[in-house]
A and B are shown apart, each in its own frame.
Chain A
Amino acid sequence: MVISIASGKGGTGKTTVACGLASVTNNCVYIDCDVEEPNGHILLKPKITLEESSYKIIPKINNDLCNFCNKCTEVCEFNALLNFKTEIYLIDELCHSCGACTYFCPQKAITEVKKENGKIRIGETSDNILFYDAYLKVGEASAAPLIKKVKNAYKGDGPIIIDSPPGTSCSMLEAVKDSDFCILVTESTPFGFNDLKLAINVLRQINIPYGIVINKYDENFSLLDEYIHDNQLNLLLRIPFRMDIAESYSKGELPTETVKDYKVMMLDLLEKIKKEIVKKEYA
């Protein structure tokens, strides 16, 4: 079972919900895919047992074999290769690791080498949650390859909870794709509402069933409830806006441990999702 948690808008409480859910799911695996700003470790406080560099593949041009025919710069759609007449120069932050230049070089002057693009960490929490996160190297342009790597770092078949980055672009897509169900965490504001619709669009395009959690819920903001009702969307949970949750979070505490009835809400959420996944399997 793979559950992803995404949001569209940043700061809606995605990581809080993801970690809360992980803490009530037996034998689960938590993977923090927000590789630009990973925060799950603050709430789950894992003991890190392994930290390793992550690499992306980049081309290396042998300037002795190269005859500067320009085939490589022609096939590179990302303008990562520059022909300086006495050498071919690579701007590695622009390289998407597609392999085209290596393949098409008529002189076979290009080999592929590894370049560090971040690090992956593996650990365990005191609740036996298996923990994975990753840090994108500061300055590195593309998050998606590292997101893919950290997801693939776990090879077992325990229940997996994927904490997605915010936004609705290719990073979020990479994190949520292939999950069985996606929880969209939104908030009672027009910003949350606007971005929820964008996130729903992405999930529909890739056919992932989803449900909605309204965090920092405020009944005075009715647009969201109306939209969910009118479109018969799956509302999983409303977490009311409460200062005790905000304060606990600010201290880096997991609300399931410190805030009354938060754990019950998470257990409730888990049950609902399990039912959804079973429904999907029988569909």
Chain B
Amino acid sequence: MLIAVTSSGDSLDSLVNEKFGRCQYFIIVNADTMKYEVVPNPAENAQGGAGPKAAEVLVNKGVNVLLTGHVGDKAEEALKKGHIHIITGLNENTKIADAIKFYLSKK
């Protein structure tokens, strides 16, 4: 299972970025191997439609679950279309590694 977290930095120690569409990075963790990939968000500075564009990236990476602060309605539409399960409510005081741990412990 691939879990994506919106991030302000490029490591597991980085802090969560609350905004989905315009975060700096996605950290994508393979829950089975615990290996991870850092993907810079191409939509960070997009003119418009940043959320959907960011969704496109995650869908094409085969992400199954997204952990983030909040997601706009158009991005939500795109993520659902791409069969990604969305978990919102994360806050920016949390480290990426902790967010992943917490999610897995709750499953």
Direct contact of A and B (CB under 8 A): yes
**Looking at the complex, which of B12-20, B46-54, B85-93, B94-102 is the stretch in contact with chain A?**
B46-54
Q: Which residue of B lies closest to A139 (CB)?
A: B73
B37 within 8 A of A: no
Q: Which residue of A lies closest to B60 (CB)?
A: A85
Given contact pairs A79-B47, A79-B48, A94 touches B60 in the complex (Cβ within 8 A):
no
Given contact pairs A77-B47, A79-B43, A83-B60, A94 touches B52 in the complex (Cβ within 8 A):
yes
Does A78 lie within 8 Å of B48, measured CB to CB? Answer: yes
A208 within 8 A of B: no
Q: Mark A107-151, 1 if CB is under 8 A from B, else 0.
A: 000000000000000000000000000000001000000000000
B10 within 8 A of A: no
A80 within 8 A of B: yes
A82 within 8 A of B: yes
How many residues does chain B have at the interface if contact means C-beta atoms less than 8 Å apart?
Answer: 18
A66-123, CB < 8 A from B: 77-80, 82-85, 89, 91, 93-94
Q: Which residues of the partner chain A approach B38 to less than 8 Å between Cβ atoms?
A: none
B42 CB → nearest A CB, Å: 10
A124 CB → nearest B CB, Å: 38
Does A84 lie within 8 Å of B46, measured CB to CB? Answer: no
Does A89 lie within 8 Å of B78, measured CB to CB? Answer: yes
B69 within 8 A of A: no
B23 within 8 A of A: no
Given contact pairs A89-B81, A91-B77, A93-B74, A82 touches B52 in the complex (Cβ within 8 A):
yes
Does A84 lie within 8 Å of B81, measured CB to CB? Answer: yes
A86 CB → nearest B CB, Å: 10
A27 CB → nearest B CB, Å: 43
Does B82 lie within 8 Å of A91, measured CB to CB? Answer: no
> Most B CB atoms within 10 A — which of A77, A89, A93?
A89
Q: Which residues of the partner chain B approach A139 to less than 8 Å between Cβ atoms?
A: 73
Q: Which residues of the partner chain A approach B52 to less than 8 Å between Cβ atoms?
A: 79-80, 82, 91, 94
Q: Which residues of the partner chain B approach A83 to less than 8 Å between Cβ atoms?
A: 56, 60
**Closest 7 A/B residue pairs (Cβ):** A79-B49, A82-B56, A94-B49, A91-B52, A79-B53, A91-B74, A84-B59
Residues of B within 8 A of A (CB): 43, 46-50, 52-53, 55-56, 59-60, 73-74, 77-78, 81-82
Residues of A within 8 A of B (CB): 77-80, 82-85, 89, 91, 93-94, 139
Known pairs A79-B53, A80-B52, A89-B56. 4 more at Cβ < 8 A?
A84-B56, A85-B59, A89-B82, A94-B49
23 contacts between A and B (CB under 8 A): A77-B47, A78-B47, A78-B49, A79-B43, A79-B46, A79-B48, A79-B52, A80-B49, A80-B52, A82-B53, A82-B56, A82-B59, A83-B56, A84-B59, A84-B82, A85-B59, A89-B82, A91-B49, A91-B74, A91-B77, A94-B49, A94-B74, A139-B73
